[in-house]
């Protein structure tokens, strides 16, 4: 992409009312646009990061037999009344509005009931099970406070998966495979070392649910971890019984601030009983479906990454999710040669943001850093006399001369090293 064709401009300052570091950085670098507190739009740069995160999640959900679909933002009250969750006293984040004829509708804050209602039409017999479905959808939540930038949106993108299993053993096996899939997701997002599978409140059916909590100063949760034993407990379930069950003492746990990036839940048959979601087993008996729900906060993850992987110059994206791999800049009037290099690099499948603007080199370099593009390549008259380019990684200060003919190979090597 040529900068001259991309309308996005970097900004010196974020809006004065923006207090969250993630949003300040993302706004200044031109990835998001703040509409109001908790409501952010994504520019062509921002959407590339969102899509890269989604793609990693999608691949891992597909690997555990997930089937992608898409539900609707508009919801009927009837869908939610059976479980009592249409009530504002039970769910305090609903956005509700009405149709022209006065009928009430809600904007989906979750799709648990909505998906079950749809799946009821498709599942009748044990032969139809198991099924694992997921989507990426905008969720609307009328959050009381929204001071964490894109980490707590009033509208935000979530990946939500739902499992429909024949019995609790099958459910449990899938639940475990989802934990492994989630670990792979956070590993690939570069958050593996700081993300803990955390025991959290399980709700009505099970003692525990599992949250995926990432260490982050801007996070709103507090958990207790033992890194050696790989145990993490949310403060809400930290008590003697839990500690005994997990085989740790209070003294062995360290308190850390975290952001909940994912949450997986076992509903057992509670929800299917409430919604009469059943199937006929091999003996012709009616059985209730075992349900699980598995969320990942896609845009929250992006915010967490912006918080954690950034420095005083700006964002620092891992090449797995960076909007572009290379920021190509020039010094001097050598546009013909740079155009050629740009086509060569893109022709080799490298994603390049080409700064072809008539701007000072210093401004181009500052933008490359602010946007957090993993590699900066500079072609100048000086480097051209050596038939080379100057390359700098976003995480290093030193630059390196690399022969023009080797540059694609060099970048490809660097990327594979960083994975
Ligand atoms: P929280 O406790 O942070 O309010 P939650 O437990 O209500 O989150 P879930 O219903 O479990 O959230 O949603 C699944 C995932 O969606 C969460 O693990 C989180 O990553 C993400 N998420 C939840 N609320 C928001 C929000 N307001 N903005 C961005 N992401 C969110
Ligand atoms: Mg949760």
Q: Do 290 and 174 touch, CB atoms closer than 8 A?
A: no
Closest CA to 156 of 141, 135, 178: 141
211 CA distance to ligand 2 middle (Å) = 7
CA-based torsion, 114, 115, 116, 121: positive or negative = positive
260 CA distance to ligand 1 middle (Å) = 7
pLDDT tens digits in sequence order for the chain, 419 residues long: 999 999 999 999 998 999 999 999 999 999 999 999 999 999 999 999 999 999 999 999 999 999 999 999 999 999 999 999 999 999 999 999 999 999 999 999 999 999 999 999 999 999 999 999 999 999 999 999 889 999 999 999 999 999 999 999 999 999 999 999 999 999 999 999 999 999 999 877 788 999 999 999 999 999 999 999 999 999 999 999 999 999 999 999 999 999 999 999 999 999 999 999 999 999 999 999 999 999 999 999 999 999 999 999 999 999 999 999 999 999 888 888 899 999 999 998 999 999 999 999 999 999 999 999 999 999 999 999 999 999 999 999 999 999 999 999 999 899 888 87
Q: How far apart are the first and last CA of the chain?
A: 24
Residue whose CB lies within 8 A of the most ligand 1 atoms, among 32, 236, 260, for a mutation test: 260
The residue whose CA is least distant from atom 25 of ligand 1 is 152
The residue whose CA is least distant from atom 2 of ligand 1 is 260
Domains within the chain, CATH numbers bracketed: 3-311 (3.30.930.10), 324-418 (3.40.50.800)
Closest ligand to the CA of 143: 1
260 lines ligand 1 (CB under 6 A): yes
The two structure tokens encoding residue 261: 């990036």
158 lines ligand 1 (CB under 6 A): yes
SS3 content of the chain, % helix, strand, coil (to 5): 35, 30, 35
Q: Do 234 and 200 touch, CB atoms closer than 8 A?
A: yes
pTM: 0.97
196 CA distance to ligand 2 middle (Å) = 14
Residues comprising the chain, all counted? 419
Closest CA to 77 of 50, 56, 99: 99
139 lines ligand 1 (CB under 6 A): no
Residue whose CB lies within 8 A of the most ligand 1 atoms, among 139, 158, 293, 307, for a mutation test: 158
């Amino acid at each position: 992409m040529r900068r001259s064709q991309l309308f996005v401009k970097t900004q010196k300052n974020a809006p004065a009312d923006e207090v969250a570091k993630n949003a300040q950085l993302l706004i200044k670098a031109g990835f998001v646009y703040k509409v109001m507190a908790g409501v952010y739009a994504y520019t062509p740069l921002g959407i590339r990061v969102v899509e890269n995160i989604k793609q990693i999640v999608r691949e891992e959900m597909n690997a555990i037999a997930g089937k992608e679909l898409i539900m609707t933002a508009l919801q009927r009250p009837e869908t939610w009344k059976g479980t009592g969750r249409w009530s504002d006293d039970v769910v305090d984040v609903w956005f509700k509005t009405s149709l022209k004829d006065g009928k009430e509708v809600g904007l989906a804050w979750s799709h648990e009931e909505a998906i079950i209602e749809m799946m009821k039409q498709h599942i009748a017999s044990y032969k139809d099970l198991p099924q694992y479905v997921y989507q990426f959808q905008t969720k609307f939540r009328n959050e009381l406070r929204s001071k964490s930038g894109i980490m707590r949106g009033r509208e935000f993108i979530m990946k939500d998966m739902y499992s429909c299993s024949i019995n609790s053993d099958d459910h449990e096996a899938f639940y475990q495979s989802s934990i492994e899939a989630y670990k792979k997701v956070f590993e690939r997002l570069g958050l593996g070392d700081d993300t803990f599978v955390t025991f959290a409140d399980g709700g009505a059916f099970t003692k525990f649910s599992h949250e995926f909590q990432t260490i982050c100063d801007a996070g709103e949760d507090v958990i207790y971890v033992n890194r050696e034993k790989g145990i993490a407990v949310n403060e809400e379930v930290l008590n003697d019984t839990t500690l005994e069950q997990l085989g740790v003492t209070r003294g062995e746990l360290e308190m850390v601030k975290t952001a909940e990036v994912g949450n997986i839940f076992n509903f057992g048959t509670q929800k299917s009983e409430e919604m009469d979601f059943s199937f006929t087993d091999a003996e012709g008996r009616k059985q209730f479906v075992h349900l699980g729900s598995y969320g990942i906060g896609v845009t929250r993850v992006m915010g967490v990454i912006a918080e954690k992987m950034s420095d005083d110059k700006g964002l620092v994206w891992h090449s797995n999710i960076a909007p572009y791999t290379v920021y190509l800049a020039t010094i001097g009037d050598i546009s013909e040669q740079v155009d050629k290099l740009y086509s060569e690099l893109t022709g080799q499948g490298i994603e390049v943001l080409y700064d072809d603007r008539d701007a000072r080199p210093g401004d181009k370099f500052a933008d490359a850093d602010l946007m957090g593009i993993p590699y900066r390549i500079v072609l100048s008259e000086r480097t051209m006399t050596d038939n080379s380019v100057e390359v700098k990684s976003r995480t290093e200060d030193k630059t390196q001369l690399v022969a023009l003919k080797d540059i694609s190979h060099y970048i490809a090597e660097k990327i594979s090293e960083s994975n």
